[in-house]
Structure 1
């Protein structure tokens, strides 16, 4: 009578057959097409990456040469799922394999990366082989729990010891970076020390949105590209992504905008992906010809207020597309009454149709004084923390904003595409300094000034002053009929007649 084969022994034998076949392992180990995992299998780009690893390990010439893979992509392509598949394959198919995973931040690692790894580990047919904790997968085989494991490791540029001792001679090491753009260069340098073991299978994979155009992740696609197998993935080309939402980002910001490059196209930004206004947009506005403004364009004053410290108060003057012809004015360490008096003198000269004032700091006092000095002038306070409205980013495309400051900066960003500004480096630095994010409602939110200062940047006083001019619509000026474009072609007067 034939002896019955132990299912566990049979499972071990099957899994052993995938030692150098991570794609085969993924297809075998998970319940694809089931209620628990409705997808029919890994996505195309995931299959390609798993195949790349398998081909490298299957070739005796390359097996013990460290494999480095860097993948930059837009949102939603399934990076965390692939990280989980690679980690689980590595552990399942090599005794005493070491897997180390880190991410750009501790919350990313704790709340996103590790929960995804735990989910896929539970889905696997070999789920009972490893014990899951909040920061690790450890082998359940007696005596192997400390040597055969995955660890989620937080990092600090001043404390990289966790990576310094990463060795596993004669076996397998897998290092995975999640959101690699945000991982400090010192961590990358220390990880290089793990690539020196002989006769060892070494795999180092860096995933992420390409949020910075500097640093080691960027170098993988630049000066170090001969050391890495690289790929940049447009999220719109991947199965299962929210293509309508992704395209809306492209439509709102433009195909070549940094936001579309980073969040959708998997391309590195012209500056920083978090930079709300790109340098190219500002430099074009600095050098653009002033041109002629319409006689009906209102003259608008924008005032950003500061009292002490390194910040300064600024008066920006804009008329239609022209924010250059009328000189701006700045005050350092000046009291509200003096500033208000100076603004009143400027108003006598330029005859503004409206004055918008940042009501923070000493702004409220300036508003009161201006109304006292010029009772017939339209003076409006602007509260940066007030409710933000949906505004037009470009023709036909509107976006949500988290507060009033985000709203006016968004309107200013759209205006810069055709406007002209003073040719000053300080103003360019102010405009390109703030970074942005999306809040829970997918509304644009600008970086706070105190956070900018922690990054070594000055408060963007000049840019805020220009942005304030977009706080509310201002009615066009009344002009003589013969200057009003609306009048052209009306009446019996022929402006081209030779009589």
Structure 2
């Protein structure tokens, strides 16, 4: 039987009156979804006619080691989850598809249960809770979702009313939370699931995943269903990934709609790979996705209407010319626009919607900032891991990816003068560290600008953060001169390899360094080549750094800031400090660190940081060390080292004098 045209059904007009300006009610009543407080704010800002909403946000999830139950019944640590895994839903039956993985850093908390088990979440993680008894407006058995931060702010009596819950014999049974332990900052891991955000962890505890696109799916269906002949366009720099996620969210919510009181309304929705539409109005009532490159912004032109809406994801990375075309189509007073993104740069239209174009400054854009530390979708453990990874909450990338704040580039250089002074104080490698030696070589061009540099360092640790984060002590700089004599460099390298046991050699094998590399190979000397203009090896690092050079310099900067990089020689200290405090950086459109190229630095009047390069090599992905089987007697010419040597000299003199007196006394006695 053919469907009657939707606009001819009186009940539909009644639903429009009920839900057209209340997305929250639609989500709860029609879809059975309980939105988070952040989603509620977003829904309220979008609902009114002519709305303009801009959201800057971070995200998060679970701590490392959190066990997730796969559809086959096996458990796997959350950090190993990938797009090929199937996760078991909270009903213990349904398979969930992983459509995206995420990582970050935030404050972490360990939740301990009466069963003796525990889970680690970040501050913004969503807890799945059940009421144990009636009271405070809740009935026994009510299920709610709360952020960890919200749970921690509850009064003790309110906390006691709720417990986590797990799946036992097909039913959800309460599991009391006995204690919450603050762990500090750490890295989180998470994922986006289809078609349900609820799944099982260790002990069959019901957990909730991150849901960045969940709001987009709800809003898309709401706009499609309750605005006649409406059109909604999604756009993003990487439209394929966005479309896959949003279309899945629409599919999820359509399934929910079919199970609820408005099941009949779902029959009017047509779902195709390129279009979601109202049946009978396919040509003029639909949701679609489209993108446009910088040089062809007019690709987005051509759509208009009384009920037109544009949603731009990762808006900070969309060229302003493209945004101008997209928003130029909003010619009717009721048209709506939404932009969502991590705040990757302090320029462009997305940035301005949070500043001079925002409602706070008298503009039309409602600017919302969703702090990952406050999101119910981000676990505390995840946030703690993020803080460890980025070094502190003050790290620019932490602010972008977790706090949802725009980067503060008032200081355009990576390392401060004070930090370079602190490099010469104290130690970073101690007796319990089984270190190795690494010799790094940066070959100059020999044309009056670049120096050839050889640096010898003690190295321990192989991680970028955490307990085994790399530690370095530079013990000697045996060569730093404006020459590229390959034979001289080879002779010095050969001498050092004999002097330092088990030392690993790292050589810049680009440009001027290629000749040295070829000579080393002819002599049968193994070395690790550096090609740091290329992309990073690991996928996680590719998401954070534009290339290996950026990874290496940021690793060096974080090590200096945290006291893991120390100078045990005063050689060239003035030049070293000057080079390190003039390493300029930026963020690209994907919130990744970018260290400016040497040509860009030259245009800024900054000389090539050859010593800095040799230090940064130590923080590349493929630079390892072999434990030294003996310690080399290296002179420490820092102030502390000289003072210690003077003390030792005075002690030795006193000891020799005492021994001489004893010898004389013994001779007299005889």
- Shorter-chain TM-score category? 0.5 to 0.7
Question: Structure 1 residues 22 and 488, CA, compared in 2 at 3 Å: closer, same or farther?
Answer: farther
Partner of 2:486: 339
Query: Partners of 1:89 and 1:290 in 2: how far apart?
Result: 57
Aligned residues: 429
1:416 aligns to what?
560
Q: Secondary structure at the match of 1:176?
A: strand
The one of 292, 296, 307 equivalent to 1:155 is: 292
State which drifts further: 414-423 or 246-255.
414-423
Q: 1:407 to 1:193 in 2, by over 3 A?
A: closer
Per the alignment, do residues 224 and 14 of structure 1 end up closer, same or farther by CA in structure 2, a change over 3 Å counting?
Answer: closer
Deviations 1:283-313 (A, max 9, x none): 437864775788x9999752135999xx978
Query: Is the aligned partner of 1:210 residue 2:337?
Result: no
Match of 1:442 in 2: none
Name the SS for the 2:292 alignment partner.
Answer: coil
Q: In 2, Cα distance between the equivalents of 1:87 and 1:436? A: 26
Give 2:43's match in structure 1, choosing from 50, 73, 80: 50
Q: Partner of 1:99: helix, strand, or coil?
A: strand
CA contact (8 A) 1:301 1:315 kept: no
Deviation at 1:14?
A: 2.9
Aligned match of 2:233: 100
Matched, 1:128 2:267: yes
**In the alignment, what sits opposite 1:69?**
53
For residue 478 of structure 1, what is the aligned residue in structure 2? Answer: 633
Matched, 1:235 2:377: no
Q: Does 1:381 pair with 2:518?
A: no
Contact 1:430–1:461 (CA under 8 A) maintained in structure 2: no
Q: Say whether the 8 Å CA contact 1:15–1:25 is kept in structure 2.
A: no
Structure 1 residue 203, shift from structure 2 partner: 1.2
Which residue of the partner structure matches residue 403 of structure 2?
A: 265
- Name the residue aligned to 1:432: 585
Deviation of the 1:238 alpha carbon: 1.6
Structure 2 CA distance for aligned equivalents of residues 415 and 271 of structure 1: 20
For the 8 Å contact 1:113–1:178, the answer to whether it is kept is: no
The one of 381, 386, 403 aligned to 1:244: 381
Match of 1:145 in 2: 282
The two structures, once aligned, show a CA RMSD in angstroms of 5.3
Report the Cα distance in structure 1 between the residues aligned to 2:11 and 2:653, rounded to whole angstroms: 97
Unaligned runs of 5+ in 2: 1-5, 61-209, 258-262, 431-435, 458-471, 539-543, 568-572, 603-607, 636-640, 656-670
Distance 1:110-1:94 versus aligned 2 partners, 3 A rule: closer
TM-score by length of 2: 0.52
Alignment match, 1:21: 22
Superposed displacement of residue 214, structure 1: 2.4
Q: Classify 1:384/1:148 alpha carbon distance in 2 versus 1 (closer, same or farther; 3 Å).
A: same
2:301 is the alignment partner of 1:164? yes
352-361 or 115-124, which deviates more = 352-361
Question: For 2:250, which of 101, 117, 121 is the aligned residue?
Answer: 117
Structure 1 alignment gaps of length 5 or more: 1-5, 33-39, 58-62, 273-277, 391-399, 439-444, 495-499
Counting only pairs closer than 5 Å after superposition, residues 448-487 of structure 1 correspond to structure 2 as 463-469=612-618, 471=623, 472=625, 477-478=632-633, 483=644
Task: Tell me whether 148-157 or 474-483 shows the greater mean CA deviation.
Answer: 474-483
| Equivalent position SS for 1:20 | coil
Q: Structure 1: how far apart are the matches of 2:584 and 2:456?
A: 16
CA contact (8 A) 2:344 2:589 kept: no
Larger strand percent: 2
Moved more, 466-475 or 131-140: 466-475
CA distance in 1 between partners of 2:634 and 2:212 (Å): 59
Alpha-carbon spacing, 1:73–1:288, altered in 2? closer, same or farther (3 Å)? same
Q: Shift in Å at residue 430 of structure 1?
A: 6.0
The answer to whether the 8 A contact 1:19-1:94 is kept is: yes
CA distance in 1, matches of 2:646, 2:225: 75
Which residue of the partner structure matches residue 366 of structure 1?
Answer: 516
Deviations along 1:364-408, one digit per CA (max 9) or x if unpaired, are 8636856999x9xxx86224599x999xxxxxxxxx99x998986
Alpha-carbon distance, 1:189 to partner: 1.3
In structure 2, C-alpha distance between the alignment counterparts of 1:469 and 1:154, rounded to whole Å? 40
Contact 1:367–1:380 (CA<8 Å) still a contact in 2?
A: no
Deviates more, 1:111-120 or 1:223-232: 111-120
The 3-state SS of whatever aligns with 2:316 is: helix
Q: Is the 8 A contact 1:299 1:317 kept in 2?
A: no
Instruction: Check 1:223–1:14 CA distance in 2 against 1; reply closer, same or farther (3 A cut).
Output: closer
Distance in 1, matches of 2:372 and 2:239, equals 25
The verdict on how the C-alpha distance between 1:360 and 1:163 changes in structure 2, with shifts beyond 3 A counting, is same
CA distance in 1, matches of 2:633, 2:450: 35
Cα 1:210–1:323, aligned 2, differ >3 Å: closer, same or farther?
A: farther
Aligned residue for 1:195, secondary structure, equals coil
Please state how far the C-alpha of 1:28 moved relative to its aligned partner: 2.1
Structure 1 counterpart of 2:334, from 201, 208, 211: 201
CA distance in 1, matches of 2:339, 2:275: 19
Residues 237 and 318, structure 2, Cα contact 8 Å, conserved in 1: yes
8 A contact 1:138–1:148 mirrored in 2: yes
Q: 1:462/1:89 Cα in 2 relative to 1: closer, same or farther (>3 Å)?
A: farther
Contact 1:132 1:138 in 2 (8 A): yes
